[in-house]
Structure 1
Amino acid sequence: MSALITSDLSMQHALANGFQLPPLALYVHIPWCIRKCPYCDFNSHTATPELPEQAYVEAVLADLDLDLLHVHGRQLTSIFFGGGTPSLFSASALQALLAGIEQRIAFSANIEITLEANPGTFEQEKFAAYRALGINRLSIGIQSFQDSKLEALGRVHSGAEAIAAVSMARQAGFTNFNLDLMHGLPDQSPAQALADLQTAIDLAPSHLSWYQLTMEPNTVFWSKPPVLPEDDVLWDIQEAGQKLLAQHGFVQYEVSAYARAGAAAQHNLNYWSFGDFIGIGAGAHGKVSDPQGRIQRTWKTRQPSDYLDPDKAFLAGSNVLTPADLPFEFLMNALRLTQGVALQQFSQRTGLSTEVLQSGLALAEQRGLLSVEPERLAASAQGQLFLNDLLQIFLTAEH
């Protein structure tokens, strides 16, 4: 049987199982930072004294033009400017980007537009201008409020600058903002970790991303690892921190995401519920579907110099997901959500019958890793702690 016929049959099967085009988001990658942090494995590059803003804006919009075939009449539900440090870009550059995007794809009435920023790049006038552009959410990379820890992490801001940045964000008109905070830092005690967390809580953000520092390949910390807390210390920090967050009204809705009522990040919820997102910019990744149920991952050229080279393609590669890929691809996202997702969403987002999950569901429930809810897919409390073990069941059960 030819590959074309097999693909056609898969699409027919997907539509028969209730496949629906999911919501559509946009990720825009701006790859420059003041300095590369030793723990960072993102596609980020040390900024030159003058950034090629105009050339990059033109390239990103040209990149988007080639991806418009993936829109299929949908509006954008969210935009996320990530990096790197997007707040290194001027308000005029971001204005040109947003205007160009909206000319090409309609915005939903309640679109969420997030900009990542670091405290060292905060300027009151610039951030008020960002807010005036329609950017309605900030994600501020704090990591720690303790200067010794910030120095160990290679950060370019101080604890005082981090606190000032939050004040500037409020003065600029931002009421919805996330603070990004790490724990398990080099030689960090539980008391130090909880002091950081309490400081963040006292600043009254609408959202907190609170997660453990990990050693990632291709980073300075991977080749020259610092001394990190022992596992029992990390466990104490995690347990005490979650209690502290809950006491102050932050609901954990994902592995490392905590939000006040109504403030969950819509862009990230779309990722975790297997929604679609177009990725533009150097090294950006995307996941897109077509009305027939074909789903593919895309990734763009990583090096900014190559991305800006008119003789080189924006698209570095793509991969169409097979029916065998889809259960694991869906679950590794959906099971990160503490409440999981409705079981029927599996068929709506993958085009597969829920029958393909049954053997894995039975085994996961038997091991206490999955909540026993007939109409939902959700990890149990134990499953959230051992998410990799839970996912491994579905990686092997159907093959």
Structure 2
Amino acid sequence: MPDAFYEAIYLVETPLPLEAVAEVMAGEQSCGTFTRVEGETDELRERARADVVAIRDLGEVAQPSLRSSWLDRKSLSASPHLGEVVVRFPVANVGVNLSTLAATVAGNLFDLGEVTGLRLQSLKLPGTYRKQYPLPQHGIYGTRRLTGVAHGALIGSIIKPNVGLRSEEIASLVERLCSAGLDFIKDDEIASNPTHAPLSTRVPAVMAAVRRHQDRTGKHVMVAFNITDETDAMRRHADLVAKEGGSCVMASLNWCGFSGIETLRRSSDLVVHGHRNGYGALSRHPALGIGFQAYQTLWRLAGVDHMHVHGLGGKFAQADEEVVESAKDCLESLCDVDDRVMPAFSSGQWAGTVEQTYRAVNTSDLLFMAGGGVMAHPGGPAEGVASIREAWRAVEAGESIDSARARHRSLSDAFSFFGKP
């Protein structure tokens, strides 16, 4: 692919000829509209028009996934076909502008009358273009350096109850979780700046607990403070975290938007933990939305260091195969620089999901988070952390979990408690 272009790969469902719909897509998202207009010269089209470079017919589908009033008005009711369409766009049409890049590869395409389904699957960017955007400031290696975890998975947990605890209660819990042996602690996505635990009091209280633990043990536990808010407020919150000696902030990506995260990245050198809550609305229907490869590519250009991928055997709707592919997307560089981000596994995780996770992704370059899997362990949080850590040590050493359970009470107790149907 030439450096002057980038490519987007789509799944398209339509009762019309795929070739015709693909051309509509290319024109709509570049220099065209439904008819040729004054000023749309051949020279301009040659320079600025997107091109369809590949079409693959994937066969007929039983019924339309979505209704189109446009098709109804034209009485077009033929059985739709599913196809893969690759469109090549000129980089010059966008420049270094993440929001416009997203509007170009997605945007009005989801509303096209000709389609009964459309999904942006993936993006391929030339290296020269990718390098004009920020790289992850910390990513995998920086997160390891800040936490002092040179090898193995990073073990994390989430503040529970999700909301309702006061600042001093959260600080007390954080102190207990630090002592339990965690590498990483994060706020829940719905707990940002509540009246009962505002960041103005929560950050100093929590970081005082983190510093006390660091003074005793030498270990810095990374806390991801949820600073989701409007842009100026996020910058103020990040400054407070930095002032108190923190190393990480978290933001709900879909609700802050690209410009909010880009501004946060430029104004702070803290680790940015990207939470994808709401992604299901963009991805859950197989014929609509945005696939994770494209999704994480866009957010990686914004400069995030961590990306949530959910967890294997977890409580959410994504299939395990999708979780694994999402993690592998995060762990693959977009071009010839190391711009990988750390995949964050979460949702219903405990010691019993460790082996499956490690076998599937074949790496420990990940953040493995368990809320209930740590805090609901019958022996308490310290035993919960120990059970997960022992499970990771076993699978990394090629030992069976059954053998490790026989030697480690915390692991055996976890399986007895969480492993019940």
Q: TM-score surpassing 0.5? A: no
Query: Greater RCO between the two (CA within 8 Å, min separation 6)?
Result: 1
Query: Higher Cα Rg: structure 1 or 2?
Result: 2
TM-score norm. by structure 2 comes to: 0.39
TM-score norm. by structure 1 comes to: 0.41
